[in-house]
A = this chain, B = another copy of it.
Amino acid sequence: MTAKNYRQAQASEASLLRIFTIPEDAESTLSIIEQKLSEDLAGFLGKSIAALEKPLSLIEKDFRAYQIPDSPRFVSDYTDEIMKNLVAHSVHTSAPSFIGHMTSALPYFVLPLSKMMVGLNQNLVKIETSKAFTPLERQVLGMMHHLIFDQADSFYNQWMHSANYSLGAFCSGGTVANITALWIARNQLLKADGTFKGVNREGLPRALKHYGYDDLAILVSERGHYSIGKTADLLGIGRDNIVSIPTNANNKVDVEQMRQTAAKLAKENIKVMAIVGVAGTTETGNIDPLSELAQLASELQCHFHVDAAWGGASLLSDKYRYLLKGIELADSVTIDAHKQMYVPMGAGMVLFKDPELAHAIAHHAEYILRVGSKDLGSQTLEGSRPGMAMLVHACLQIIGSEGYEILINNSLEKARYFAQEINQHQEFELITEPELCILTYRYVPQAVQSFMEQALRNNDIASVKLCNKLLDGLTQFIQKHQREQGKSFVSRTRIKPAKYQRQATTVFRVVLANPLTTDEILNDVLQEQTEIAKLDSHYLPQLLAMTE
């Protein structure tokens, strides 16, 4: 052991100070790994992550110890261990054939920038611990605000850096963004009035009493994200007061039914606190008719929030931004930069049309967040926060809107190509067309297809239902098996297609945001699924037997 690579492994003050003052030796295990990461991330991940899936129960064996170890360890020993136990059994989320979730490949420059961000260790809650990071974050929020709401020069000059006003809030993710938006909506609706000090001070029961409502409700498509239910629970409104509105055949909320529901609620003295538009849905990527929802929100005089955590990035495409028409009429919009904007995990945002909106949740504290300061923490749900906005800033500047135009358009067009391939394939059934870059489909053996078509023609719903149930098993089998083989990954979910009388149906779900996913990879995915289907010894014979 040379003096240089001696890092730790005995607890003395001197050895401890070394980990804070003496950098990793360039020849150390960790430095070599970092070097490999810098030189070829995809190669590093490809080599380090095991191709074959290890059962979770076995992985857990390596994480069984529940006592903090007494003795310090060498950084190199620790690194060897996590390469074997952790990294090898993590998920290659940036693989071009990992098309099942919303994580994607990252641009290289975010790696050194992230390291710089960690080294700077700013805390965005307050100017005193973040300085220039505060105007930077405000600028990022301003740019996203402009992308959505497109206000005049004077608007941004006046508000972007103005103390006590916010064009939005940076959050750890879309869930916190959605919670923030609806928290504001609730507090805005039930604000101080006469002797009533506001829901923020007196609480929801007294607020309802003061305003004379029996209850509050939030209206959202049945395809709304589960974070909306979580929000209703958290805010004291109750999950049952999320009124789930049916969607049409294209998974878009039925605005007329929403209007009728609102009228019914009004008769019951239940106040609609907010309408949430989905853009697009997590499962199918479809976008609600936002302009019509805005119109309804205006009729009901309620807050209009758009959850564009996933779809919002499509505004960066001039060609396709029309798909989100009406989003500019929202009071608040959620966008996750860690989804289709190619920023690492942990970069959610909510944007407010009106810079005064966040007053509804403002709070102050003596040692921090003094009144009149520009501290970002006085109008956010979270307290201490890292400088993640820097990575969004970097992507916006380095990729630019012309770059995003290409990335987004390619994703959407790749999804259209894949849908076409599925449609043309004899044994696959496209369940939902891609509107953005998400689509769902399933594998249906040809014989089963003919059988189901006939059953549908004969209105033999019982047979269709039975068939679908067996196909669910097959879809699940294929998806699990494909994941375990480790070559490619699609996710699965259950949706209720209009074509099948809204029977819950298990489908493959594909998200095509990775710029490195090629047409060839997509064809291989289908090829692999076809082969796996043939392995199924349980469902397939049953299905085929039905058709005889």
Contact = CB atoms under 8 A, between A and B. Distances in A.
Contacts of A237: 203-204, 236
Interface residues of A, number: 182
Nearest to A315: B68
A365 to B, nearest CB: 4
B91 A122 contact: yes
Interface string A163-186: 000000000111110010001001
Contacts of A68: 143, 146-147, 316, 396, 400-401, 404
A372 to B, nearest CB: 13
A482 interface: no
Given A68-B147, A69-B396, A121-B344, A205 B199 contact: no
18 contacts: A7-B109, A11-B406, A23-B40, A68-B400, A82-B394, A90-B387, A91-B129, A115-B118, A175-B381, A176-B382, A197-B240, A203-B237, A226-B364, A226-B383, A227-B383, A230-B381, A235-B235, A336-B384
Contacts of A44: 119
Contact of A400 (B71, B87, B238): B71
Contacts of A75: 109, 398
A410 B183 CA distance: 43
A533 to B, nearest CB: 21
B116 A11 contact: no
The 9 closest A-B pairs by CB, nearest first: A236-B236, A203-B238, A367-B493, A11-B402, A204-B236, A175-B383, A89-B132, A172-B172, A66-B156
A77 B489 CA distance: 37
Contacts of A302: none
A434 interface: no
A463 interface: no
A16 B403 contact: yes
A534 to B, nearest CB: 24
A490 to B, nearest CB: 11
Interface stretch (A93-101, A246-254, A467-475): A93-101
A58 to B, nearest CB: 10
A173 B382 contact: yes
A162 B112 CA distance: 37
Contact of A174 (B205, B206, B384): B384
A109 B40 CA distance: 21
A158 to B, nearest CB: 11
Q: How many copies does the complex hold?
A: 2
A541 to B, nearest CB: 27
Nearest to A106: B121
B345 A112 contact: no
B173 A400 contact: no
Contact of A59 (B120, B123, B131, B176): B131
Interface string A133-147: 111101100110111
Nearest to A374: B56
A203 B65 CA distance: 40
A101 B131 CA distance: 14
A491 B23 contact: no
Contacts of A494: 366-367
Contact of A23 (B19, B38, B86, B113): B38
A110 B202 CA distance: 44
A24 B70 CA distance: 40
A91 to B, nearest CB: 5
A78 B398 contact: yes
Interface stretch (A28-36, A289-297, A415-423, A523-531): A28-36
